[in-house]
Amino acid sequence: MPQRLLQIGPLLPALEARLATTYDIHLLHKEPDPKAFLAAHGRDFVGVATSARFGADAALIAALPNLKVISSFGVGLDAIDLGAARARGIAVGYTPDVLNDCVADTAFALVMDVARRFSAADRFVRRGDWLQGQFPLATKVSGKKLGILGMGRIGRVIARRASGFDMDVRYHNRKPLADVDHVYADSLKALAEWADFLVVASAGGAETRGLVSREILDALGPRGYLVNISRGTVVDEQALVDALKDGRIAGAGLDVFEDEPNVPEALFALDNVVLLPHLASNTHETRAAMAQRVEDNLAAFFAGRPLVSAAY
């Protein structure tokens, strides 16, 4: 008998198809009344397949009394109640590392785009404005100062990308890291004051909520740019909108938002922001590797082996 798995939201179609060949998988998001379904059938499932977007909250975990394993598509664990899972001895798998390159590439694309204004220049050409005159001057990237908030797996790859642009890199983290050569800023404010570009690469969740506050944005200042490829929750979004509107920072490149897919409408009118629909890991190659890791984590669990990538 195949293991019974509950899928929490839509996944990559190729992954859904592959999971369906190995497991008896049920799609919770197709249920008209998911709560009633869980109350009636919650005990049937031993596994959950989910993503960083849909997660698995405490209520879901509680509704699945026989749950033994969660396999999530994504590196972010902020939408999974790890405390609730751990307390029940539920294994949690996720997909770190395989997306580092693409997320770091996206961070760099945003650094380039917001400073050199390539997206704005593309709009300028499409509007026919080139026929009227030259596009205004932009800001140089190479050789500038890049501050990284969160020197984890992705932060380190961003730092490597920066070295190709002859940038000076500093970082702020919960604590200095012995295996990182870059200068450690002992506060986020000091990092923001120093940086031309502040790139947010920390994890989401309660610990980092609102870290990039009005005070930090003011420390970054009218010549500084903010780039966020981690979670919208790390930035006080209203403070960011205000800082952008008032010209208290130079611009922002954002792949993530507080309440996705809702983006503050005030940002649409601003030409000094680049807005992406949370696409950093969204390439054929990386999504295939993430899908493989979701499958591998489940296969390892059901074979009685340690997960390939375990959250704890």
Which one from 117, 156, 231, 287 is the annotated catalytic residue? 231
What letter represents residue 242's amino acid? D
Q: Looking at 52, 219, 243, 267, which residue binds ligand 8YV (CB under 6 A)?
A: 52
Which one from 170, 278, 287, 293 is the annotated catalytic residue? 278
Give the strand pairing for 273-275 and 197-200. unpaired
Query: Does 232 help bind ligand 8YV (rule: CB under 6 A)?
Result: no
Rg (CA), the chain: 21
User: Which residue lies nearer to ligand 8YV by CB, 8 or 90?
Assistant: 8
Q: How far is CA 192 from CA 115, 167, 267, in A?
A: 16, 15, 22
Query: Does 69 help bind ligand 8YV (rule: CB under 6 A)?
Result: no
Q: Residue 260: which of 55, 88, 61, 106 has the closest Cα?
A: 55
Both tokens assigned to 300: 């390892």
Distance CA(192)–CA(81), nearest Å, equals 31
The yes-or-no answer on residue 278 being catalytic is yes
Chain-centroid distance of CA 95 in Å reads 12
User: Which residue lies nearer to ligand 8YV by CB, 173 or 228?
Assistant: 228
The yes-or-no answer on residue 172 being catalytic is no
Segment 276-295, which members bind ligand 8YV (CB under 6 A)?
278, 281
Look at the alpha carbons of 283, 161, 277, 52 in this order and tell me if their dihedral is positive or negative: positive
Strand ordering across the sheet containing 4-7:
24-27, 4-7, 47-51, 69-73, 91-93
The yes-or-no answer on residue 215 being catalytic is no
Stretch that binds ligand 8YV, among 74-82, 125-133, 166-174, 220-228 (CB under 6 A): 74-82
Q: Looking at 23, 73, 124, 257, which residue binds ligand 8YV (CB under 6 A)?
A: 73
Both tokens assigned to 233: 């929750």
Query: Does 53 help bind ligand 8YV (rule: CB under 6 A)?
Result: yes
Q: Looking at 75, 169, 201, 219, which residue binds ligand 8YV (CB under 6 A)?
A: 75
Size of the site for ligand 8YV (CB under 6 A): 10
Task: List the catalytic residues.
Answer: 231, 260, 278
